[in-house]
Chains A and B, each alone.
Chain A
Amino acid sequence: MLDADFFRRWMTATTALVDREAERLTALDSPIGDADHGSNLKRGFTAVAAALEEEAPATPGAVLILAGRQLISKVGGASGPLYGTLLRRTGKALGDSAEVSAGQLAEALRTGVDAVRTLGGAAPGDKTMVDALVPAVEALGDSFGAARTAAAEGAEATTPLQARKGRASYLGERSIGHQDPGATSAALLFEALKEAAGE
């Protein structure tokens, strides 16, 4: 079973990975975006880590809701409301339980990903974070390791795609040949999940 400590470790591990990969995320965001994805997410997750330290929420759901609210208010770019909605909706779906199963987490994340798709209007194949999130959540039923691999593969598979959402979509065919920064950061979330599970 996964308790609040597990979810705090997940968010802390995500913060560390975002911190480590911030320059790469921003570099990916330079040719097809506005070169701020890494710095925006780093600011957001730094605020998440600080808020979790200060408030120490007692349930898995409360950890993710607090993290989501921080991202919406601190990031400043589109990734803030998108990741914020993902975590907050997932947290709400987990309810008040002190512990949840991996299956319950997978089910809650599915709700979160659906909310992201509704908010941003993106479908798989649009070259967005959805391309990493959807396969990851599907694979989460098997294991955290499978979810991590599916997310990373989903992110890599965005390279040949033409963007249909976000700023990159203005570039049309010129968006082809670049890995999507949002899908890349979404894969970090699942790498951190695997780390939090100690796998």
Chain B
Amino acid sequence: MSDGRQLVGIVLVSHSAEVAASVAELAKELSGGAGTVAVAPAGGTASGEFGTSSELVAAAAASVDRGAGVAVLTDLGSAVLTVKALLAEGDELPDHTRLVDAPFVEGAVAAVVTASTGADLDAVEAAAAEAYSYRKA
């Protein structure tokens, strides 16, 4: 499936640990059990409250980094700002980590499916962002 290439890793950052973990599970399930894609949730604060933890985000990104880049999807507010602040820092996230502008659930599914094909970070980002265009009504 990936011709031996390394796969893009996916990090899902939500204010809620349950939401992040559940969306990670859902995305893997809907992508046909694309078990080889590393998907890590980073939800809530380190003390288990609602919010964002830069430590959890950094640890999640490091855990899914296989050398092909890491796509980070977020829900809102401090999740977005924390990832942007970490990216601006320069040394807290793996090389080629990118905040992907995408809807959280739909984007996560698109990102995991696309990553499972061995697609590069640009393609994973494009697929996740394209999820904004799936109209529901």
Evaluate contact between A81 and B53: CB separation under 8 angstroms: no
> Which of A69-77, A103-111, A138-146, A151-159 is near enough to bind chain B?
A69-77
> Which of B3-11, B20-28, B82-90, B113-121 is near enough to bind chain A?
B82-90
> Which of B33-41, B44-52, B63-71, B124-132 is near enough to bind chain A?
B44-52
Q: How far is the CA of A115 from the CA of B54 in the complex (A)?
A: 18
Question: Interface residues of A toward B: which range?
Answer: 20 to 34
Min CB distance B23 to A, Å, is: 20
Partner of A81, one of B45, B49, B55, B85: B85
Question: Interface residues of B toward A: which range?
Answer: 10 to 19
- A93: Cβ under 8 A from any B Cβ: no
Q: How far is the CA of A36 from the CA of B52 in the complex (A)?
A: 13
Min CB distance B44 to A, Å, is: 9
Q: How far is the CA of A101 from the CA of B8 in the complex (A)?
A: 47
B72-112 CB mask vs A (1 if < 8 Å, else 0) is 00000110011011101100000000000000000000000
Evaluate contact between A76 and B81: CB separation under 8 angstroms: no
Min CB distance B35 to A, Å, is: 32
Q: A72-B82, A72-B86, A84-B85 are in contact. Are A78 and B77 (CB under 8 A)?
A: yes
Min CB distance B17 to A, Å, is: 12
Q: How far is the CA of A166 from the CA of B89 in the complex (A)?
A: 22
Partner of A78, one of B49, B53, B81, B88: B81
- Residues of chain A touching chain B, judged by Cβ–Cβ distance below 8 Å, are 36, 40, 69, 72-73, 76-82, 84-85, 88, 115, 119-120, 166-167
9 cross-chain pairs, A with B, having the tightest CB-CB distances, nearest first: A76-B51, A81-B85, A81-B81, A78-B78, A76-B45, A73-B54, A81-B82, A77-B78, A78-B77
- Residues of chain B touching chain A, judged by Cβ–Cβ distance below 8 Å, are 45, 49, 51-55, 77-78, 81-82, 84-86, 88-89
